[in-house]
Structure 1
Amino acid sequence: MKIQFVNYSFVSPVKGFDTGVQRPIGGGEVQLLDLTHLLQKKGFTVSVLQSGPQAKEFEFQGIPVKQIVSRGRYKFNFEWAKHVDKNARLHLHDANHAWPFGKNYTATFHGVSWDLPYYGHSLTEKIDWMARRKFFKTLINYAIRTSNKIASVDTFLLRYVQSEFPNYRDKITVIPNYVDLQKFKPLPTSKKNKQVILFPRNLTKSRGTELMLHAFSQITEKDVELWVVGTGPLKKEAEHAASKDKRIKLLGHVDHYKDMPKLYNQADIVVIPSLGVEGTSLSCLEAMACGKPVIASNIGGLIDIIQNNENGLLIPTYADSLAKSIDSLLEDSKLRNKLGKNALARAKQFNKPDWEKQWLHFFENVG
């Protein structure tokens, strides 16, 4: 079987994200790389269609990539269809790219895209926020109606379709994200003089960058460091915070499988404070697989992973709540150990072999 994946930013440079080298910039792109490698190993012929600054064709880690010039993420919706391989089965790695194509395709839903809270201060900002909510919901509603099938990484879409489009309920297959337990696991580390809080996130508003920095400014403990691992449009804000608080260490964008296991293991606490647009976060699962206590927002797919006070902490998206939770874990080693131990057990339920079986079944049985 021949499958072509459509993804705006598989391994292409994205404005505001200084990765230094060509590599996936986030969890969705890492997932696509792992998925294409799996299918290739199982005898499928795969390729990826992405955007970029110039048109070209190349291979990335053995995956053929066709890059087209795009005017922007959502203008990409009007551009990609004329470049598809008509002899391949089409899979949109982001269901938001379905409109206005609308025929004979499958898609992936990576988490609700209209759940960002409103933090503006003007009528113009409020109108923009309302328009974005309506726009993203319209895109997903279109994908629900026109796709052959959608794989959702969390249970939100299933509940949403059951409520709003019950006749399309059978189109939705829930395939939670995964963790490679061979790579992400507890490892011995050298003793540290300071406790480490790890923020392994792209530096964007939706990933809670400002929330994290604001919360950390309320932490008065001196023997603690905040390690910020990632890049993005809010990099300058992170640099400004680090210039004022020497406890903040900016590590930049690192190699996912080479560097992240060690960083998770060096951390005492991992924070996933997303404001919205979050599925079953790879970062959350990977931290848990390393036996680390995770503080996460009570939104999106994160509530599919964490049971509050059992295998992690779920909090509302407020800096005060996050700071209070960080303080409680810094002061209570028994609670950290309990949450970390239970987190490891929970992460094993999201193992990569099970994820691979579900995706193979999805592609082998879709109409």
Structure 2
Amino acid sequence: MGYLHILLVLTCILSSAFADPVSNDFIENINKQNLTWRARKYSDTSSRRLSISRTSLGLSPTDEKDSLNIVAYQIADGDIPESFDAREKWSNCSSLKEIRDQANCGSCWAFAATEAMTDRICIHSNGIKQISVSAQDLLSCCTNCGYGCNGGYPANAWSYWHKTGIVSGGLYNSSNGCRSYSLAPCDHHVSGSLTNCSAVIEAETPQCVKTCDNGTHLNYTTELTFGEVPYVLENVTSSIQWEILTNGPVEAEFDVYEDFLVYSEGVYKKTENVSKVGAHDVKIIGWGVDGGIPYWLIANSWNAEWGENGYFRMLRGENHCGIESYVVVAVPNLGSDSNIPKFEIGMLLFSWILYMYCR
């Protein structure tokens, strides 16, 4: 392992070990500043630890981002609406309303990717294919995606979907698909109903097993889903918007500062004099304007007890915390007849036979 890789691993370890004791005074100070967002106050007065549990690594020379095509759209004035919510446009896709939980594992890179893949399969099949893509399979089996629970590389995740494929699989303890997530949910930087993530031993990367879970009676090979060649979006707000508007949610990476961890509601913009604690990958599903402040609408993977029921909004158009600088995605490879229901295929075939007979 080279010195650079050692440095990256140490950076991840230091990020996961970051643990400034932060009292409610820190949170109250944020809320007294009349910002565009509010921090969540803990339910007790004891000192809490702000630790970002093994967040994803930042960019590195081994990431395939630099080798991917950069896509830029030429957008005419008026083509982009002032607000957009993918949950409303594609309301028949249940995955768009789902908030996942990466548990005490730095698998946000895999979660943001598979969440967007899941949405896009539904969107591009006109709601016919409601297949949950397995974060467990990507996390455990993609050997060049990074370090598993110690962080990973988003571009490599999308390339893996294109070259190798990822099976179906749902949330923890679910029977949805081939390989469901094996790590139990926990509370991320909130005092909620679950065990606090910082109180749980940090998870090891699950083992790669190319068989489906016991009891599913599914075949691993036939459960594989695939994507087309991935691409990176130009760091231009309108290009990212157009991609979401036409193809569905995208994966984005941004720098995380300590105040973000206690976000509760509003349009997030980092406060002054806060420390950077790592990087994080999320799924952007839309945008809007609140009180004159443009924002991105984003799904996090820290369960629904964090933020705005699992979502958050971040300042849009200024590449805040780097949110617009690293957006990677692909369209699903659904096969030639994936957008046509089998019933319709049968009716088309019957009509053709009838036509030939009656000629």
Question: TM-score, with normalisation over the residues of structure 2?
Answer: 0.24
Higher relative contact order (CA 8 A, sep 6+): 2
TM-score by length of structure 1 reads 0.23
Rg comparison, structure with higher value = 2
